[in-house]
Amino acid sequence: MRRAQAIAVLLAMTLMVAGSAPVVAQDQGDSSLNLIRSFPTVDTVETRPDARGMVLREAQTFDPDAIERALAANASGAVPKTVFPPDERSRVSPAYNQIARLVILDRYGYGIGHCSGSIIGPNTVLTAAHCLYSAESGWVAGIAIIPGEDGAIRPFGYVLASWMLVSAGWQESFSPAWDWAIVTTEVMIGNVTGWLELGVLSSASLSSGTLDLITVGYPGDKPDGTQWETSGRGLEDVTDAFLVSRLDIFYGQSGSGIIRRQDSRVIGVWSVGTPDINVAVRVHELMIVDLLAGCAEVGCSFAYWVEPPNPADAFSRTWARTDAPVAAGIVSRTWMWGPKPFDARFEPYVESPGGQRAVAYFDKSRMEVTNPYGDQNSPWYVTNGLLVGEMVTGLLQTGDAKFEPRNPAAVNIAGDIDDTVGPMYSTFRGLLTSPALFPGQSVNQRVDRMGNVWVDPNMDWYGVTAAYLVEVPNLRHTVASPFWAFMNSSGLVFDGNSTTWAQLFENPFYATGYPIAEAYWATVKVGGTQHDVLIQCFQRR
């Protein structure tokens, strides 16, 4: 009996693309950050039903002469911090604009201490709650914010707080777990200084021993108004609420941020210390939710970023459903994706966060996570790239409605790489609008390398028919019967817990996408021998 090979287009492709710049400037040295005048995107203020909320107080107004007297004082806060010998702190001069000294004012305008803070938006400064509100004294009367103070030099002067907000949890319990707060300013000082971005990192990222950290503030044991930094790798411990470290800090640095060096994101707020450790409140999603709720009340805004789930986990789950049983040798069928990914990267895509989406290349497909914050339980959380469509048309998709023109791929669509007779991807460019066969009609059309099509009655012998008509906007083609049978077939799959018998694909078009052309027979060299091969191009393979 004559045999024919039915091939749904399977391919592997690597696209070389340039990475995009981060939203905050990268550091340029081993011990300093490039923070000057960076303006990360400020997220839209919104309310959330799960917000616990903030407690707010309007700051008092003061006589300017009283403020000047207060700024001359260098009293620091009273919450202990620890410098671990040897003292590895270094002076920052000129100072970072986005780090501020916060002078605490009593109701008479006297300076009664100072903390440190990070400017995180046009009119928003992040600090520690105990700098603003305590069990013993209640609210402070006001705060004077001095951005980028460098000893006697105050490049931006000072601005007064208009509102002071502490977490509701702090007012109720005074637990260090709630020791974070924000101060809003009378003027949009961040539009001049730039601001930093809050970063909500996964526990895995925070627990990495290679995590490069830096903290900057105004320690009370150093000359008046001087900014100091210390850096190190890794944290001592990470919990849901706290970051434990041995970075050197001192009285007066309450409210300083722990900053991840690689992107200058603030990941923690210094709260308290012991002789052995210093403890910061972790920047987490609940903090962001409450800060958003507070800003909605007083009219402030700030920049934040939530680390998306690791795309490798989602790619692995998608691969495992059909290919884990193949890899384990408990089923004999073709790979759906391939033995393993041979490349993983981020590539430009307009609608993805930061304009980049995660992709993984397998022998037979490109997996993508376009929206990392989507529903991970949805089968469409991971999609498969439109590689065949891109190679046939020469249009590389970099957004939902954005394409970069390239040349159609002059690459054999099937068979041996040295075949000079079989069709290429570019062959099908002129066949995308060919009329669809009717369901039940015999698939007996042939195509050659130049894209010429003719009916070959000899192909009727194989009994291949048009099985399923797909009609969607700008596309009308019929799936050939062997491919339709495979797309709806069942077999052993891995469901995340065990191997079970089920449909290979929860949606028949999940892995392949829609057909972009009709099915055609072609003569293709496979293993050095000419064969009749059935080829149909689908969007994704």
pTM of the model: 0.65
Is the same domain home to 413 and 288?
A: no
Please tell me whether residues 350 and 259 are part of one structural domain. no
Which residues on neighbouring strands pair with residue 138, listed in sequence order?
134
Considering the domain boundaries, does residue 426 fall inside one?
yes
24 part of a folded domain: no
Predicted pLDDT at 30: 33
**Residue 314 phi, psi dihedral angles, 5° rounding:** -70, -40
Residues 258 and 177 reside in one and the same domain: yes
Q: Examine the domain organization and report whether 417 and 315 are in the same domain.
A: yes
Q: Which domain holds residue 225?
A: 54-306
Residues 87 and 151 in one domain: yes
Supply the pLDDT for residue 365.
Answer: 84
Residues contacting residue 156 through CB under 8 Å, at least 6 positions apart: 97, 146, 147, 148, 189, 192, 193
Q: Domain check: are 517 and 418 in the same one?
A: yes
Does residue 100 sit in the same domain as residue 88?
yes
Of the residues 114, 130, 477, 531, only one is catalytic, namely: 130
Q: Is residue 352 flagged as an active site residue?
A: no
Does residue 33 fall inside a structural domain?
A: no
How far is it, in rounded angstroms, from Cα 65 to Cα 57? Answer: 23
The last residue of one of the domains, among 306, 339, 358, is: 306
Q: Is the preceding peptide bond at 515 cis, omega within 30 degrees of 0?
A: no
Distance CA 25, CA 33 (A): 8
Q: Report helix, strand or coil for 537.
A: coil
For residues 196 and 382, give the distance between their C-alpha atoms in angstroms, rounded to a whole number: 32
- Give a yes or no: residue 34 inside a domain: no
Is residue 41 a part of any domain in this protein?
no
The answer to whether position 25 is within a domain reads no
Of 306, 335, 355, the last residue of a domain is 306
What CATH number does the domain containing 197 carry? 2.40.10.10
> 118, 254, 256, 271: which is the annotated catalytic residue?
254
CA Rg value for the chain: 31
Question: Is residue 315 one of the residues assigned to a domain?
Answer: yes
Locate all alpha helices (DSSP H) within 34-84, ordered by sequence: 64-72
Q: Using CA atoms of 192, 163, 24, 178 in order, give the dihedral in degrees to the nearest 10.
A: 160
> What confidence score (pLDDT) does residue 36 get?
40
Residue 254 bears catalytic tag? yes
Q: Are residues 275 and 343 in the same domain?
A: no
Q: What is the pLDDT of residue 462?
A: 94
Strands 133-134 and 124-127: what pairing? unpaired
Contact between residue 428 and residue 537 where contact means Cβ atoms under 8 Å apart? yes
pLDDT confidence of residue 67: 66
Q: What is the structure's pLDDT at 207?
A: 92
Tokens of residue 217, six digits: 């503030």
Same domain, 292 and 349: no
Q: What is the pLDDT of residue 441?
A: 96
The answer to whether 351 touches 400, Cβ cutoff 8 Å, is: yes
Domain end position, chosen among 284, 306, 328: 306
Question: Is residue 225 in some structural domain?
Answer: yes
From the list 439, 437, 312, 331, the residue with the least C-alpha distance to 376 is 312
Residues 417, 515 within the same domain: yes
E strands of 406-498, at which residues? 445-447, 453-455, 466-472, 475-480, 490-494
Q: Which mean pLDDT values do the consecutive 10-residue runs of the chain (541 residues) have?
A: 35 22 28 47 56 78 69 58 85 96 90 94 96 93 95 95 95 93 95 94 90 94 94 93 92 94 94 89 94 93 88 90 93 90 88 86 89 87 87 89 90 91 95 96 96 96 96 95 95 91 91 94 93 92 64
Q: Following DSSP, what letter does each residue of 183-248 receive, concatenated?
A: EEESS-THHHH---EEEE--HHHHT-TT-EEEEEE--TTSSTT-EEEEEEE--SEE-SSEEEE---
- Domain count across the chain: 2
Residue among 519, 521, 525, 517 at smallest CA distance from 446: 521
Q: Does residue 194 share a domain with residue 325? A: no
Residues 300 and 313 in one domain: no
